[in-house]
Structure 1
Amino acid sequence: MTNHAGAPRPRYDEGCLAAHALNQVGDRWALLVVRELMFAPKRFQMIRAGVPGITASVLTARLGQLQQAGVIAHDERLGIYALTEAGRGVLPVLEALCRWALTLPGHDATRFISPSALMISMGVNLQRSPAGADTLVGGFDFTKESFEARVVGGRLETLAVERPEAPFVLKADGNAMASALYGSQPLVQLAGEGVVEVQGDIAAAQRFVDLFNLVPRA
């Protein structure tokens, strides 16, 4: 999209609603930038750290386009970018794309995954509700980002926090955390190998991660 008379020029000159949506968030990297802001406002470099393939100039352009589209807001005094209500409404779109991607061949789970991407993935890959409990709560510490995740009524509720308060906290980078959630090795083994650090109740942590699986839901 480029500016024309102060407004974005549509890439897709159609009346289709999907085309209209893509005119707002359809440029390369745009949806991934929105993904990185889904749970908390961030500064420029933190956004870029979550999308390692993007250049500074392209990220600047995408942030400007998304701001013009009303998807994000920029606090220039604090240097922080945050999603607007419209931007937060993109979450079901990202989740639907993740569900669709599960049905496609060629996904390489060993490639880089950001904390925000993994937390969205967890919401998609929750397979069942916990047995004998209304709610399970877990903490996830990625060093620079932390989250509390609650399984309530068959859904995952995720909240970015400064310090998780939960029966257990798993600490790792995105890919190691993904292996704890979706891999076949038990947490005791992963902790012993130094792949992930488990703080608190490791049995509760195992019950929590056992609710997730990287396969399409039936």
Structure 2
Amino acid sequence: MKRRDYGQYCGLARAMELVGERWALLVIRDLAAQPQRYTDLLNGLPGIPTNVLSTRLKELEQAGLVERRIAPAPQRSVQYALTPVGQDLEPAILSLGRWGASQLDEPKPGDVVTPGSVTLSLRAVFDPVAAAGLNASWEIRSPDMVLHAAVTDGQLDAGVGPLPGKPDLVITFDPDGLASYRALIQAAKCGLVELDGPRTLLDTFLSVFPLPKTNPAATKTPAAPKANAKVSH
């Protein structure tokens, strides 16, 4: 497939030429969470055809955004990881994620939530002002995923998998539906989580990782036309 060329000397146009193809930003999102094998990416991006994933990885490698690495022992498998140039995309991805979260309606049948997407949600909503001077760590567990978030002197480290070492608070929840970040916060606010550690750190978690405001227009159900209304075509 020939890549887009917008023919404009513009930074945004160049960015779209490099990462504007379908699935490209979601590949980068998952690699921002952690380096992954090809099969990990395939499993974490339900619906992506194998040939499309291979093409996107090749394009992102050629652009200098993604590189191949050999995983440490005992795996010794090939992993894909973001280069420093690719890592520079994270602030833009987080900003897009925050904006997109404000446009989310209720989940549709077939929607999925991946550990990588929840990890990036944690990074996107993190409030550095509320976390100023804070030192605390959390491990979030659901039936399908384990994540961690640690704040050291106000700086966040959030990733997929358990926290190295003992977390200050373990939050376990079993959502009735998708294990999204929004579902986690709603469950925490309603007391539908199990805690292993000081409850005060749950309140800290809620203040440091606030839910983004939702655009009312995104969740507004269109009014049905009146029975006698004239419908234009």
* TM-score of the aligned structures, taking structure 1 as reference length: 0.75
Describe the SS at the equivalent of 1:176: coil
Structure of larger gyration radius: 2
Distance 2:212 2:150 in 1: 20
2:99 alignment partner in structure 1? 100
Which amino acid in 2 is paired with 1:32?
A: L
2:21 alignment partner in structure 1? 27
* Cα deviation digits, residues 100-130 of structure 1 (max 9, x gap): 22443x5335742211211211222235626
Q: Relative to structure 1, is the Cα distance of residues 167 and 153 closer, same or farther in structure 2, using a 3 angstrom cutoff?
A: closer
Describe the SS at the equivalent of 1:81: strand
2:64 alignment partner in structure 1? 70
Which amino acid in 2 is paired with 1:215?
A: P
Runs of 5+ unmatched residues, structure 1: 3-8, 192-197
Asked whether the 8 Å contact 1:139–1:166 carries over to 2, the reply is yes
Counterparts in 2 of 1:41-190, with a 5 A limit? Answer: 41-75=35-69, 78-104=77-103, 106-108=104-106, 111-127=111-127, 129=130, 134-141=134-141, 146-152=146-152, 156-160=156-160, 163-164=163-164, 165-171=166-172, 175-176=178-179, 178-179=181-182, 181-183=184-186, 185-186=188-189, 188-190=191-193
Q: Percent identity?
A: 27
* Cα deviation digits, residues 24-58 of structure 1 (max 9, x gap): 11100000000101132111111122211211111
Q: Relative to structure 1, is the Cα distance of residues 97 and 124 closer, same or farther in structure 2, using a 3 angstrom cutoff?
A: same
Q: Relative to structure 1, is the Cα distance of residues 177 and 202 closer, same or farther in structure 2, using a 3 angstrom cutoff?
A: farther
2:230 alignment partner in structure 1? none
Q: Relative to structure 1, is the Cα distance of residues 170 and 177 closer, same or farther in structure 2, using a 3 angstrom cutoff?
A: farther
Q: Relative to structure 1, is the Cα distance of residues 209 and 187 closer, same or farther in structure 2, using a 3 angstrom cutoff?
A: farther
Asked whether the 8 Å contact 1:180–1:186 carries over to 2, the reply is no
Asked whether the 8 Å contact 2:18–2:63 carries over to 1, the reply is yes
- Deviation (angstroms), 1:137: 1.1
1:213 aligns with 2:221: no
Which amino acid in 1 is paired with 2:5?
A: R
Report the RMSD for the aligned CA atoms in angstroms: 3.2
Which amino acid in 2 is paired with 1:107?
A: D
Asked whether the 8 Å contact 1:48–1:54 carries over to 2, the reply is yes
Distance 1:46 1:28 in 2: 19
Size of the aligned set, in residue pairs, is 202
* TM-score of the aligned structures, taking structure 2 as reference length: 0.71
- Deviation (angstroms), 1:171: 4.7
